[in-house]
Structures are given as C-alpha cells and as structure tokens.
Amino acid sequence: MSNCTVKDFYCTVCPSECHLTVTLDETGSVVSVAGNSCPRGERFGRQEATCPMRVLASTVRLEGAHTGEPLIPVRTREAIPLSLQAQAMDAIRKARVTAPVKMGDIVLANVCDTGVDVVASCSAR
C-alpha cells in the first residue's frame, strides 16, 4: 500500500460532520473509509473521494414576467458531478424561460447528459 493516496474531508450528510479519512489505491479505487459514525458517512466518503457530486444553484433569464424581475432562481433536481458544473453553468447561462413558471417546472432537461433536470426554485407570473 505504498502508492496509496489519502484524502481527508468532513462528511456533510448529517449534523455530526464526521472527519473522514479515505484511502485510495494506485488505480483510484477506495481501499478504506475511516472516521464515519454511520453507514451514510462511508457512502459519502466513497463518493466524495472518487466522483464528488453537488446540487448546482443559479439563475436563468426570465422573459415576460409581470413582476419585472429579469431572473428566476433555478437548481439541479439532484446532485451532478462536480467536474461537470462549469459545463452545466454554460448551458444554464444560455437558457431562457418565459413566464408563467411554477416552482419545480423543468427549465433545462437532462443538463450535460447527466439525466438530471434544472428546475425553477420559485414561481413567477
């Protein structure tokens, strides 16, 4: 195990914020997760060490709204790989939505071929 890599970070799954130590072998596969106080922490550690995921929040240009607000807040319905967030932001910047919009409406389907939709975070008329 001389070519192992060790990653340290805090678990964000629950309020305990366990300090995790994840050991990866030379191929990048997880060898062990230590420091977690629950099974969710181990799953989070494995995911975070190999392919970190985040929910992305941003805004999209809103056209035709009575409120006069030029933007509407949006977010990905689920977490997407952190490595795709810049590409997803490029797609979100190009997106436009026309009022009325209801919270949860799909603004951008299947962003970056992740299978995850970008949805409106609030309603606008």
User: Is 55 within 8 Å of 97 (Cβ atoms)?
Assistant: no
What per-residue confidence (pLDDT) applies to 65? 78
pLDDT in tens, 86-116: 999 999 999 999 999 999 999 999 999 999 9
What per-residue confidence (pLDDT) applies to 1? 54
pLDDT in tens, 13-66: 999 999 999 999 999 999 999 999 999 999 999 999 999 999 999 999 999 877
Torsion angle in degrees (nearest 10) through CA of 27, 29, 34, 39: 180
Domain architecture of the chain: domains with CATH = 5-50 (no CATH), 57-120 (3.10.530.10)
Global confidence as pTM: 0.85
What per-residue confidence (pLDDT) applies to 64? 87
Long-range contacts of 12-21, Cβ-Cβ distance < 8 Å, separation of 24 or more: 12/44, 13/38, 13/40, 13/41, 13/44, 14/38, 14/40, 14/41, 16/41, 20/44, 20/45, 20/48
Going by C-alpha positions, the residue among 41, 19, 21, 48 that lies closest to residue 32 is 21
pLDDT band of residue 2 (cuts 50, 70, 90) is low
User: Is 110 within 8 Å of 76 (Cβ atoms)?
Assistant: no
Measured distance CA(29)–CA(44) in Å, rounded:
14
What per-residue confidence (pLDDT) applies to 26? 95
